[in-house]
Amino acid sequence: MGKSAKIYLFFILITDFLTSIHSIDPICNSRKFSYPKTLRSNQITVLINGYSESRIHLLRRIAATYSSLPFVASILILWGNPKTPPETLTQITQNLTSYFGGAPISLLLQSTDSLNSRFLPRPEITTRSIAICDDDIEIDTKSFEFAFKIWESNRDKLIGFFPRSHDLDLSLKSWIYTVHSYKYSIMLTKFMIMKTDYLEKYSCSADSKITMLRDYVDEMKNCEDILMNFVISDEADSGPVLVEAKRLRDHGDARNEENDEMEMRNVGLSSRRREHRKRRGECIREFHKVLGRMPLRYSYGKLVNSVGEQGLCFKGGKLVFCDQQIF
* Positions marked active-site: 225
Q: What are phi and psi of 306, to 5 degrees?
A: -165, 150
Cα dist from 258 to 249, 254, 261, whole Å: 16, 9, 8
Residues in the chain, overall count: 327
CA distance 125 to 122: 6
CA neighbours within 13 Å on the CB side: how many for 41? 9
With a CB cutoff of 8 Å and minimum separation 6, the contacts of 196 are: 35, 39, 45, 121, 125, 127, 128, 129, 130
Q: Is 300 exposed, middle or buried (0-12, 13-18, 19+ CB in 10 A)?
A: exposed
Cα dist from 218 to 112, 155, 205, 213, 225, whole Å: 11, 29, 16, 9, 12
Q: What are phi and psi of 268, to 5 degrees?
A: -65, -40
